[in-house]
Structure 1
Amino acid sequence: MPLYEYCCEACGPFDAFKPLSEFRAPAACPECGQSAARMIGSAPALSTLSQAVRRAHAMNEKSADSPRSTRSGHGMNCGCCAARSRPGKTRHTADGGKTFQGARPWMISH
Structure 2
Amino acid sequence: MPLYEFRCEECGLFDEWRAMSECNAPASCPSCQQPGRRVFSAPMLLSGSLRLKRENPEPQLVKRQEPKPSKVKDHKGGRPWMISH
TM-score scaled by structure 1? 0.38
Higher-RCO chain (CA-CA 8 Å, sequence separation at least 6):
2
